[in-house]
Chain A
């Protein structure tokens, strides 16, 4: 076992544990904090794959922006620290069994594929080729249309979110 594998195993187990805590802790604010740990674990996983850009994106977008958004959303709710409602409904075991079955099924089916056991390929030394990505994003023969549509999706999301969340001052 190399050092990398040890680091990966530690990261993966911490991430999984934190993910479990996100859904099982009763206090919403604590769940949000655990979520940050999960996202950080994913960042390290990206770093282990030598993808610098995505590691930073994960850090900047998910921890820097989305986790903050989630924390603010938790602050909007009334009983964020003392939820006294039941956490699970009657069918929780059914869902657990079916999601476990789905997981086992997917893993079994995929394990038929020889690529399943191949060690993950890391990005070339020096990280991924950002120049290529940047060129492709604005290249008419590349991804310029998805690029502009992404901007439009952001616009729609922002307008919508402001519409839903803004307090009505004019009334």
Chain B
């Protein structure tokens, strides 16, 4: 045994231990005082965050190379931990208000987060699959956390059935890749791919199946069917966490697996990825136009953002563009994370029991009654649209320029066009908030307000000085690149 193996994954080990500890401690915390669990879980996440940042930029490999800790995984781990913190900040009061206060929320959230972190460390297809399960299973439960609410149950069931189905795809793909090469670890497969000592047909089908499975997780069209219903039915803090965490984890897996394992497959996969990206951008944005429920609107908008992200991934086989693509995607994921949590915090502040307060009309008059909330929401929506000088603009700018650099200007054009379309439905919310008279009711609670405030501040500051975040994203390199 080798202690340095465990040293490399300390944050993960700590987070898992903390989750189990919380699960047990929570059993003896009386109902109604679950704030303690929330605080404890937040403390655990903060410690894990410190542990992650401690390992810094150095590249560590552990467990015979089946785990890799590099800048890429550190960047994404921080993103996941921050998402989990936001998920807790948004949840506590929300759960209390809707009569759902159960301690299980926090350990499940932590376990899901550890699954996401494992996904960024994984350097072996078996681990990728297990990480996928580890992050998904708690999310299935969390989506149905509001047990007695039929919509929430439906969301949970739908997510579970389709998620299990997509896990099956990934597993089948992993099996075929193993059959084709005889390896499950990334270096082994990559070596076999270079030697040509593999079966190209099985390998390609395997890669396609793995792509399908990750596509489900990241809600790419045509594997997006579950996402609007699940996003709408699940409790809002869960939706926020899911739309950031699960998506980022899906893209992390996509990046790691495809860049390291399937670079040679890019010739065959590029047209497929191209079509997926274009479809995702179109469908997400166009269907979002007709939504009147804010949760569904954000769901379709998140599908559209998957499309933008995938666009930068299309030229991944091109070695000169690859590092730019990864940096652009990481930057966009960070921007998307900040913006999404901020927007969901505003949604949560307006949401009332039994799914009331979620229609766009409920936002009428917000600009006059609650200028702070309306202002932050406006910032987030502008950032989603990609209006210049917001963080979202820079995110899209890097993604589009990567696509152009890789020779896919048509995709960038589609991205630009669909962004224009998206301006309509994002700005419609702004118009409703400021131009329509109404008396919105807001739940004044510190944590959601803090989340949206911090989010707005970050979006504005980083929008003015995107270099800081970009430098971090650029230095967050994948091992072996």
**Chain A positions near chain B (C-beta within 8 angstroms):** 106, 109-110, 112-113, 115, 140-146, 149-150, 152-153, 155-157, 159-160, 163-164, 170
Contacts and interface: CB of A to CB of B under 8 A. Distances in A.
B256 to A, nearest CB: 16
B205 A109 contact: yes
B67 interface: yes
Given A110-B202, A160-B140, A163-B102, A149 B127 contact: yes
Interface string B16-30: 100010010000000
Nearest 7 A-B pairs (CB), nearest first?
A: A160-B141, A141-B64, A149-B130, A156-B137, A140-B1, A156-B111, A153-B133
A51 B460 CA distance: 61
Nearest to B126: A146
B134 interface: yes
Given A143-B126, A160-B108, A170-B31, A153 B137 contact: yes
Nearest to A158: B137
Given A113-B199, A145-B66, A146-B127, A140 B134 contact: no
B371 to A, nearest CB: 40
B107 interface: yes
- Please classify the interface of chain A as helix (H, G, I), strand (E, B), loop, or mixed, using the class held by over half of its residues: helix
Contacts of A157: 137
B112 to A, nearest CB: 8
B144 interface: yes
Nearest to A145: B63
B171 to A, nearest CB: 13
Interface residues of B, number: 37
Quick one: which of A113, A144, A145, A153 has the most chain B CB within 10 A? A145
Interface string B93-130: 00000000010100110010010001000001011001
Contacts of A142: 64
Contacts of A110: 201-202, 205
A151 to B, nearest CB: 10
A163 B5 CA distance: 34
Quick one: which of B9, B63, B147 has the most chain A CB within 10 A? B63
Given A153-B130, A153-B134, A157-B137, 8 more contacts: A109-B201, A141-B64, A145-B63, A146-B130, A149-B127, A156-B134, A160-B108, A164-B141
A156 B20 contact: no
A110 B206 CA distance: 11
Contacts of B2: 140
A145 B67 contact: yes
A152 B205 contact: no
11 contacts: A109-B205, A113-B199, A113-B201, A140-B64, A143-B126, A144-B63, A146-B127, A152-B114, A153-B134, A155-B20, A163-B102
